[in-house]
Structure 1
Amino acid sequence: MSEFIRGGSFLTETLLPEQIFVPEDFSEEQRAIAQTTADFIVGKVVPHQGTIEALDYDLTRSLLREAGDLGLLAADIPEEYDGVALDKISSTLITENMARGGSFGLSHGAHVGIGTLPIVFFGNEEQKRRYLPSLGTGEKIAAYCLTEPGSGSDALGAKTSAFLSEDGTHYILNGSKQYITNAGFADVFIIYAKVDGDKFTAFIVDRDTPGLSVGPEEKKMGIKGSSTCPVVLEDAQVPVENLLGEISKGHHIAFNILNIGRYKLGAGCVGSAKWALHLAVKYAKERTQFNSPIAQFPLVQEKIAQMAIELYGAESVIYRTAGLIEQALGVKEPLQAAAEYAAECSICKILASEMLDFVVDEGVQIHGGYGFTQEYEIERMYRDSRINRIFEGTNEINRLLIPDTLVKRAMKGEIPLLAAAQKLQAELFTMGGLIDETIPLNMERDLVERVKKIVLFVAGLAVQKYQKALVHEQEILRNVANLVIDCFAMESVLLRATKKITSSGEERARLQIDLATAYIHRRFATVEQTAKDSLAAMEEGDSLRTQLSILKKLSRHVPVNEKLIKRTIAQQSIEAEKYTL
């Protein structure tokens, strides 16, 4: 992983396994950091989860300070401000392992991520020295205030205003923010307002600022142990030295921080899913029906296998993206590195949040009626998981961002999407050679290359047909995004499993071969259907028949015995009583 890989280039290039980072590449130091985090959660947080769920602010703050003593709040803070300055893989591992803490994991994530990072990346020297050391220890807790009652996904539609005082010493802020995580006990707020009513700008606002007040806790479906309150600004007097970044450049802060927040959210979903899988397998081994543990029933095994398969895909995508960002830091500033992979960060958020919803849903189903009671932890996880598809930009908004980001990059000449689409036209007449199926994952490698062609085929047709009006065809854009997500995920598991074969041999890589095979074939079927739906929405009559015949050639493949593969995968998870990688 030495050369710099451009964001979105996975659609036009054939990458080698050694070009991506995978969980098997974790260093001993990274594994130690993950273990430290896991031990902290098990030893300090889990015993108090009932109290945390009852919204004990003092306990959450105390636990955050203990996490700060271990360096778990300062991973992304530079050393010159008393931070730890860990690599992005390590900070991602902290997020993943915090997830078992449920609501506490969310309080931690909001503080170290969207709460602290705006100051890390955009604060001036005085602001960094004033805030970062205490944020890194947990002496002060941060919150991020973007959403308003009338503006959620449309962040730039915010109404909160900021006007400079007559003496030029303060900005006077008026407005309200909604659904602010950590608001009940935060000391520092990153607040967005429009200077002079139209210049979207960020401010650092202390809790004791005159005119700032915090409203009552929201009564939420899940994550009940995290604080979520409105923040009200009534002639709040914010010193001019607390302006963050530049006037009218608040969107640069908001959107770049969200890129990081999205892939970190994905890491948390992976951590939660691993615990949910453990709970489901443990219960399935203990629960007896018809004189047998239900873990022996093939339909339960199929559920366990599919949970592991989806987890494998999301985990592969998350750490591939973290590796890309870490790699890019060698040639780019931190925010530029995150912006480079904006599409990949959105993929992480969508894929992992929907994976977690699937895993906890199947976890409840395996628990049966008990899963619907609060006696079992899976019930809380089911409720908690739902917010992840809304946080950090809804999954719908992120799906629209993916094609928009890729098209803009193509128009700038940063990725050769147009050239690749034109090249595809010539390749359509030469496709179809024999594949040596004796080579592990050779058939799956061909499927991944076919998916790339299908993405270019459908997206190219959409751009050609609608041109600038494509922005109004949200159903088509969503479908293109789904194709891109499937492509990136399928390639990620393929490269990860291939890398395992290279390092450990085919026999020791057997589980990963099975996981990748099952994942790719299941996703390929989805890709084919999504492409058909897209073509039917864009064409009709003879033109549609022509396009469908091209798709048929691109999607021709031989299915595998998923039943056998899944039984093998399930058996390993059942024996280990956990996700086994």
Structure 2
Amino acid sequence: MATESVRNGGRFVVDDFAPDTIATPEDLTEEQRMMADAARAFVEGEVKTRDEELEKLNYGLTVELMRKAGELGLLGADVPEAYGGLGLDKVSTTLLSETMAEASSFALSVGAHVGIGTLPIVFFGTPEQKARYLPDLAAGTRIAAYCLTEPGSGSDALGARTTARLSPDGSHYLLNGSKLYITNAAFADIYIVYAKVDGDHFTAFIVERGTPGFTVGPEEKKMGIKGSSTCPLFFEDAPVPVANVLGEVGKGHQIAFNILNIGRFKLGAGCVGTAKEAIRLSVGYAAARKQFGRPIASFPLIGAKLADMNIAAFVMESMVYRTAGWIDEGLSQADPNAPDSGAQAAKAIAEYALECSIVKVFATEALDYIADEGVQIHGGYGYMQEYKIERIYRDSRINRIFEGTNEINRMLIPGTLMKKALKGDLPLLRKARALQAELLQPMPLPSFEDVLSLESYRLAQAKRTFLAVGGLAVQQLGLRLEQEQEVLVTLADIMIDIYAMESALLRVKKLIAREGEAKAGNAIDMTVVFVQEAMERIEQLAKKGLAAVEQGDSLQVQLSVLKKLMRAPQEDTIARKRMIAAKVKEAGRYVV
């Protein structure tokens, strides 16, 4: 039975949280850091030394290195100990995903294998399926791929046309159809394939390489991630044993969507690792490159770029680890040995589907920004392939498409919130109604004497703004709101900034409690700057949302209420960014 502690999904828009309710990178144990050190040593010693070969799509080398990663335990972190893995928590595997990110395309091959390739069997496999496949997957002696996308169904996963029909003797399902853009396709041994039984019942299957009627198509020629395999798959009466149905017939959507949720936040973890690498490369270049007789790092505008990059990485890191900690908490309540273990896991993961989408959108867009600024700092050299920032720039672009496009994820964020509210899981509508009367009352500003008291106030006002705009949208549009995509995306962007602000704010408060204000100075500066700039975005988003649902005098009333909600002292972000930049330049890397 779920406890109150694991019912946090979506509550950040209506409730406040204490700092000790979230996981942060500062909480990592010595054992977790040692695991990350092992992964880092592997990347530095085995992967980066053969980087050029990997980027030429050397299948044999990729497989060889994945075997070595398996021997080191780097592929079995999510696999239970009973099946040859390490059975680590999600915070630990998040750290591994972050650390492996510097392996570029190879990190993607590993990520697809350990995440969306292996986790369907971990969470939804029968004991027999787990015993048969997980030990090899953990060891890297067999490699996995996840096969959902089709030529005619990308974001609309349930629109898949691949079919499965039971053979006359009832022993096999015969698969027919195709899949597109499948990572690890060329060298995988195990494929998690989705098909519709009798053309109707969406179902997951475990398909093995060598199955008659199953073929792998040619490599796609991609913009980036060139060292990873991406191929189409084809099925022509491919027989898959009934014992290889994963989960229940007709319940494939539970597997597909919940595995994508895990994939989304793990993608965020990879973005954190790549963002840190981009910052390190950029500050190193800026310190060495001289123009007008001095290093370009000494120029304020370059410093401002480094500060903005560091702030974006800090906030995304805070969001990723917070979400990982909450998912850990939810999964800890599930019994992996219960007959309904898959359903329990699905429920625990689905609780934070909204947060996983938020992390995915924020992290992938923040990384694109960081990579772009990294190229700009490198100038013309950033456009040359001999500098890794060029590859980071190209490789990062796919992340906004992976695991559901950012547009789809933006639509899911408010949609999932409303579903939770209608089910009674969130007091969203009640709080929105109660807020209406409150907003008409005077709103005198409190005193802001304590550190981060202004930021805490502004976060609370951001939540009220969301409730005000969202409540009005529901009231005015009713069921039509589902079709008003621009309004939904506006609400999603406000929610993303709220989750981002709160994650950073809770992290720095936890840091202050542990180490004091002096040692948390840089984190305080980053949080102050981010909250100031996020509130500026939220104000513009709220104006756009209000104008879409109100007009005339009613709109003017709502805009005057918004003005009261946004009223707050202005921070000098230029001065704070200069202090942040100085810390980054002194460290020569990302710094908290």
Coarse TM-score class (shorter-chain normalised): over 0.9
Match of 2:475 among 448, 461, 464: 464
Aligned counterpart, 1:277: 279
Q: Report how far residue 43 of structure 1 moved.
A: 1.1
Question: Cα deviations across residues 148-193 of structure 1 (Å, max 9, x unaligned)?
Answer: 0000000010110111111111111110000000001000100001
Matched, 1:474 2:485: yes
Aligned counterpart, 1:424: 435
Question: Cα deviations across residues 93-150 of structure 1 (Å, max 9, x unaligned)?
Answer: 0111110000000000000011011111111111111100000000000000000000
SS in 2 for 1:414: coil
Alpha-carbon contact 1:2-1:19 (below 8 Å) kept: no
Alpha-carbon contact 1:6-1:415 (below 8 Å) kept: no
Label 1:431 to 1:119 Cα distance change in 2 as closer, same or farther (>3 A): farther
Aligned residues: 581
Q: Which moved more, 1:515-524 or 1:424-433?
A: 424-433
% identical aligned pairs? 57
Match of 1:212 among 211, 214, 220: 214
Give the alignment of 1:52-67 within 5 angstroms: 52-67=54-69
Match of 2:561 among 528, 550, 554: 550
Partner letter of residue 492 of structure 1? S
Aligned counterpart, 2:506: 495
Aligned partners of 1:336 and 1:96: how far apart in 2? 26
Q: Which moved more, 1:327-336 or 1:377-386?
A: 327-336
Label 1:441 to 1:5 Cα distance change in 2 as closer, same or farther (>3 A): farther
Match of 2:87 among 85, 89, 98: 85
Label 1:193 to 1:5 Cα distance change in 2 as closer, same or farther (>3 A): closer
Question: Cα deviations across residues 439-496 of structure 1 (Å, max 9, x unaligned)?
Answer: 1000010000000001111111111111111111000000000010000110111111
Aligned partners of 1:256 and 1:34: how far apart in 2? 26
Give the alignment of 1:526-565 within 5 angstroms: 526-565=537-576
Alpha-carbon contact 1:435-1:442 (below 8 Å) kept: no
Aligned counterpart, 1:24: 26
SS in 1 for 2:355: helix
Aligned partners of 1:550 and 1:218: how far apart in 2? 53
Partner letter of residue 190 of structure 1? I
Aligned counterpart, 1:134: 136
Aligned partners of 2:396 and 2:525: how far apart in 1? 27
Matched, 1:411 2:413: no
SS in 2 for 1:167: coil
Match of 1:33 among 25, 32, 35: 35
Aligned partners of 2:464 and 2:563: how far apart in 1? 12
Aligned partners of 1:35 and 1:370: how far apart in 2? 31
Match of 1:104 among 103, 106, 113: 106
Aligned partners of 1:238 and 1:348: how far apart in 2? 36
Aligned counterpart, 2:246: 244
Aligned partners of 1:275 and 1:260: how far apart in 2? 23
Alpha-carbon contact 2:255-2:346 (below 8 Å) kept: no
Give the alignment of 1:216-231 within 5 angstroms: 216-231=218-233
Give the alignment of 1:110-189 within 5 angstroms: 110-189=112-191
Partner letter of residue 239 of structure 1? P
Aligned counterpart, 2:454: 443
Alpha-carbon contact 2:171-2:242 (below 8 Å) kept: yes
SS in 2 for 1:407: helix
Aligned partners of 1:169 and 1:3: how far apart in 2? 44
Aligned partners of 1:431 and 1:4: how far apart in 2? 36
Partner letter of residue 560 of structure 2? S
Q: Report how far residue 550 of structure 1 moved.
A: 1.0
Alpha-carbon contact 2:54-2:62 (below 8 Å) kept: yes
- In the superposition, the TM-score normalised over structure 2's length comes to 0.97
Aligned partners of 1:148 and 1:451: how far apart in 2? 40
Q: Report how far residue 419 of structure 1 moved.
A: 1.4
Aligned counterpart, 1:76: 78
Matched, 1:7 2:18: no
Question: Cα deviations across residues 306-354 of structure 1 (Å, max 9, x unaligned)?
Answer: 0001111100000000011112223344332211100000011001000
Aligned counterpart, 2:326: 324
Q: Report how far residue 32 of structure 1 moved.
A: 1.2
Partner letter of residue 438 of structure 1? E
Question: Cα deviations across residues 331-388 of structure 1 (Å, max 9, x unaligned)?
Answer: 3443322111000000110010000000000000000000001010000000000000
Give the alignment of 1:336-485 within 5 angstroms: 336-430=347-441, 432-485=443-496
Q: Report how far residue 234 of structure 1 moved.
A: 1.1
Partner letter of residue 571 of structure 2? V
RMSD value, Cα: 1.2
Aligned partners of 2:357 and 2:205: how far apart in 1? 26
Alpha-carbon contact 1:2-1:327 (below 8 Å) kept: no
SS in 2 for 1:200: strand
SS in 1 for 2:6: coil
Partner letter of residue 481 of structure 2? L
Aligned partners of 2:265 and 2:156: how far apart in 1? 20
Aligned partners of 2:489 and 2:379: how far apart in 1? 34
Partner letter of residue 214 of structure 1? V
Aligned counterpart, 1:523: 534
Q: Report how far residue 426 of structure 1 moved.
A: 2.8
Match of 1:253 among 252, 255, 258: 255
Label 1:436 to 1:504 Cα distance change in 2 as closer, same or farther (>3 A): farther
Matched, 1:305 2:325: no
Give the alignment of 1:256-267 within 5 angstroms: 256-267=258-269
Question: Cα deviations across residues 408-434 of structure 1 (Å, max 9, x unaligned)?
Answer: 000111111011112212321445334
Q: Which moved more, 1:478-487 or 1:164-173?
A: 164-173
Aligned counterpart, 2:201: 199
Alpha-carbon contact 2:445-2:568 (below 8 Å) kept: no
Question: Cα deviations across residues 390-419 of structure 1 (Å, max 9, x unaligned)?
Answer: 000000000000111110000111111011
Aligned partners of 1:130 and 1:481: how far apart in 2? 42
Q: Report how far residue 42 of structure 1 moved.
A: 1.0
SS in 2 for 1:223: coil
Alpha-carbon contact 1:305-1:567 (below 8 Å) kept: yes
Alpha-carbon contact 2:311-2:530 (below 8 Å) kept: yes
Q: Which moved more, 1:210-219 or 1:35-44?
A: 35-44
Q: Which moved more, 1:4-13 or 1:309-318?
A: 4-13
- In the superposition, the TM-score normalised over structure 1's length comes to 0.99
Alpha-carbon contact 1:103-1:223 (below 8 Å) kept: yes
Aligned partners of 1:336 and 1:81: how far apart in 2? 23
Aligned partners of 1:234 and 1:299: how far apart in 2? 59
Question: Cα deviations across residues 53-106 of structure 1 (Å, max 9, x unaligned)?
Answer: 000011111111111111111111111111110011101101111100000000
Question: Cα deviations across residues 15-34 of structure 1 (Å, max 9, x unaligned)?
Answer: 11111111111111111111
